[in-house]
Every structure is written in C-alpha cells, then in structure tokens.
Structure 1
Amino acid sequence: MKKHIPNLITLGNLLCGTIATIFAVQGDFEAAGLLVVLGIVFDFFDGFVARLLNVSGELGKQLDSLADMVTSGVVPGIIMFNLFADKQFEIENFTDNFTLSAFLPFFGLILTLGACYRLAKFNIDTRQSESFIGLPTPAMSLFVISLPLIQEYSDIHFVQNLISNNYFLIIITLFLTYLMNAEIPLFSLKFKEYSIKNNLVKYLFLLISILIIITLQFLSIPLIIAFYVILSVISSPQK
C-alpha cells in the first residue's frame, strides 16, 4: 500500500494544476497562482516521500512529469496567452480578424511546448538525478504566474508598464523556453544531509530569497529565479 502514497501526492499536483487551468482560462490569476504553488509543493513532497518510504520507481517518475506538464506547462502557457491578449481576446471574433495581433496571444503557448520538451528530456536524462540541467518547469511556472500579480499589486509603474509590453513578453517567453532546454547546470534544493559545508550554496540561496520575499513580495519571484540561475552558473564546477 505504501508504494501508492507518493503517486497519490503526485495526483494531488495534477488536481491542483487542472483546477488552476480552469481559473487561468477565466482570468483569475490569484486563484490559479495559489493552486500552482500548492501543486509545486505536492511535486516537491512526492519525491521526498518516495525516498523516505524507499518506493521510488519508473511509474512515479512518469506520473510526476505528466502532472508537471499541466501545473507547470499548460497553466503558464495560458497565463502568458492572457497577458498578450490583455483579457480582450474573444475566440468568437478570432476568425474575423486575421492580423498579427490576433495571433500574438498564441505565442505564449510556446512556453507549454518548451515545458513538454524539457520534461520529456528529463525523463531520459540520467545526468539529472542529483541536480538539474536547464531551468526546471516549476521555476518557469512560478516566474510566469507572478507577472499578472506584479502587474496588479506592484506600485512600481515602470514594472507594470513593462509587463504590459508585448515585446517584453515575447523576450520573456523565448528566454524562459530557452532556459528550460539549455545545457546549463542548476543546483537542486533537495538535501541529502544538512551540513553547512556541503550545502552552503543552497543555504545562501534560501536565506537571500527569504529576505527578498519579505522586502519585495510578488516582485521577488522573478528576481529569485534569476538569482537562482546566476548563482547556479557561478557555483557550478568549471570543466
């Protein structure tokens, strides 16, 4: 019976992602963001519980990626679609307006395609058992779901205007898609043991991230993910 416990937690991730998809389509980004975060929590703990119970297996690995595809693939793609469309897109009028701007919102779905490709590669890449190569899809998802929340709650007009700029969104979409599939080594936040000596980079990252969250709230999320990538590159052993 215990071998099914991690899989049930993974299905919790999938359930959160599915409900988040519904909210994202409706433009309720707060609810969608909350459910994505909850799904990512499930995603973190399914592996932890599997290792704790010593029941890791191929089924759990495949199920994990399928759940991530929804929570950290479909949802951010829909949110980026909405950011491009600025909530003005009407599917019933789409066929009457064959202009570049009419097709532009679909550009956001490149994130979904990039996430799918990254997850498929992850399942067959034996190098990613201890760390990551390329930006994990949950990190990409957190980055994207933070954008409409920053736009809504940030008092910094420059940042609000930046997120409303389609050229900025195009760059972000392409850059995140590239990062997910790039050959860039990134450290994992999974701990085998908790000594400071062997986990200095992880503790440094967590401490600075907490300080940034307290100071900048929603704006902290993309900054933390950028910091994660930069710190990983700096701390990665040079070949």
Structure 2
Amino acid sequence: MSITKHVPNFITSLNLLCGTLSVFTAFHGMLMEASLLLFLASVFDFSDGFAARILKAYSPMGKELDSLGDMVSFGLAPMVMLHMMLFKVVLGSYEADLFAQNIPTQLLILSPFVVTVFSGLRLAKFNVDTRQSESFIGLTTTATGMFLASLAFVFDNGSGWLFDLLQSQWLLLAFVPVFSFLLISEIPMFSLKFKSFGLMGNVDKYTLLLASLFFLIWLGVGGIAITIALYVCFSLVRLVVGRA
C-alpha cells in the first residue's frame, strides 16, 4: 500500500495527540494552553478529511480513528476545562481538595463529564446515521468543544466582560444540560461546506462567516463561542421557519 494512504490517519493521530495533551494541561489548571492545543486539534480534525478526499485514501479504520480522536479532543478535553473552571469558581483555587467537600458540591463540579457521555452518544449516532452526509442532526462534538475551549481561554486570560460572566457557577453549570441536549437533539444544523461560492443558497454561511470575523476582532478568541452560539440560533430559526 502507498504511504500516501496512511497520511489521513497520521493527521487524525495528531488530533488525538493534541486532545490528550489538552486533557493533561487542563487538569493542571493551564486552561489557555489546553485551549490552544484543542484549537490545533481542530485544525488536524479538518485536515484529515481534506487529505482523505485529495488522496482518495478513505478507509473503515480512518472513520473509526476519527471518532476516537474526536471523543478525546472534543468529547473529553473541553469537559475537563469546564470542570476546572467550575473547580476554580466554586472552590476558589485549583489546589483545593475536591473530596473534602460535601457530596452535592462534588457532583456539581464533576457534572461536566456528563456531557462527555452525550458526546460519545453523538459520535456513535453520527457513524450510523445516513441522514448526516450533507448536513448535521444535532450540534457536533467539534463545535461543542470549540465553544468551551474558547471560553476556557477567556477564563484563563482573566479580563473583560465575558470573563466576568464566566465567574458565575450557574452559567457554567447551565452548559451541561444545554450541550447534553444539543448533542443528541434532532435539530438540523446546516453544514458550513460550500458546494459553490455564489450567494444563492449560501446566505446563512456568508452571514455567519462575516459575524465570526466581527466577533473575533471584537472579542478575540472569545468570539469563537459567540459565533457558535449564533450558529445554533441560525439553525433553530431555519427549523422554525421551515415548519411555519
């Protein structure tokens, strides 16, 4: 077999490696570094599919490896970040003893890992759901991970109004049921892949891209989270209008 056939799997393995290192750094309270590693993992996650198309190197193993990589990078690492944010907000320090707290507090701080379970369900569902070849049903694990990673970056940066919002344990906790639901929901989420570059049929995509540019300039990395929230809102509006 030509060595080019292994290129996509090698890129996917880099996604998995970055996700694993992101978990490690997040558990050590290095949320900015963990976020950057996750952003790098997302680049590899995009690139492996692109490489597979260019090289015509699709394989059943590649599909399974991609899901395993996404499970670590976008199903586990971002939840460790959310867990550590809750740890800091609720207990005041990363060095606090979690198991010296009462059981409700422990459960509260550990609750983000519930989303990891739903991420696994989402990935398993995607692998067998033939409806998701052109668009998505439910929010992707990648989008969920990028949302939380961008907020973790802001949280570790320690300034701005978005940072102030993230000091609320109730806001952080709200992400658990919201993302658990979105990951396995039947809400159609439009794909950002362009079949053509004309305006017809791509209004939502161009609007989202322009909005993301605006939010990134305004908020920096935190703009990623706002863009993903807007993406979910666009998808919900399309669903409601389509049913009207």
Alignment TM-score > 0.5, same fold:
yes
| 2:93 corresponding residue in structure 1 | 88
Match of 1:190 among 190, 193, 196: 193
2:128 counterpart of 1:128? no
Name 1:139's counterpart in structure 2.
Answer: 143
1:177 paired with 2:180, answer yes
SS in 1 for 2:67: helix
1:96 CA drift (Å): 4.2
| RMSD after superposition | 2.0
Superposition deviation, residue 58 in structure 1 = 2.0
Match of 1:238, SS? helix
**Ranges in structure 2 where 5+ consecutive residues have no aligned partner:** none
Question: In structure 2, do the counterparts of structure 1 residues 4 and 226 end up closer, same or farther at CA, with 3 Å as the change threshold?
Answer: same
**In structure 2, what is the equivalent of residue 211 of structure 1?**
214
Q: Secondary structure at the match of 2:111?
A: helix
Identical columns (%): 39
Distance between the aligned counterparts of 2:6 and 2:160, measured in 1?
46
2:33 to 31, 34, 38: 31
Equivalent residue of 1:101, what SS?
Answer: helix
1:119 aligned residue:
123
**Equivalent residue for 2:18?**
16
Displacement of 1:179 in angstroms is 0.8
Q: TM-score, normalised by structure 1?
A: 0.90
Corresponding letter in the other structure for 1:111: V
- Relative distance call for 1:97 and 1:233 in structure 2 (3 A) is closer
Residues paired across the two proteins, number: 236
* Partners of 1:202 and 1:94 in 2: CA distance: 43
In the other structure, the counterpart of 1:44 is 46
2:99, 2:106 within 8 Å by CA — same for their partners in 1?
A: no
Match of 2:197, SS state, is coil
Counterpart of 2:114 in structure 1 is 110
- 1:225 equivalent among 212, 225, 228: 228
Which deviates further from its counterpart, 169-178 or 145-154?
145-154
Which TM-score applies when normalising by structure 2?
0.88
Q: Distance in 1 between the 2:30 and 2:99 partners? A: 26
Deviations 1:89-147 (A, max 9, x none): 568x4554443113321111112111111111111111111111111111111111122
CA distance in 2, matches of 1:39, 1:11: 10
User: In the alignment, is the contact (CA less than 8 A) between 1:131 and 1:185 conserved in 2?
Assistant: yes
CA contact (8 A) 2:119 2:141 kept: yes
The counterpart of 1:201, out of the listed 200, 204, 213, is 204
Q: What is the DSSP-based 3-state SS (H/G/I as helix, E as strand, rest coil) of the residue aligned with 2:186? A: coil
Output the CA distance in 2 between the equivalents of 1:95 and 1:212. Answer: 39
For 1:191 and 1:65, the matched residues in 2 are separated by 23
Offset, 1:149: 2.5
Where do 4+ consecutive residues of structure 1 move more than 4 Å? 93-96
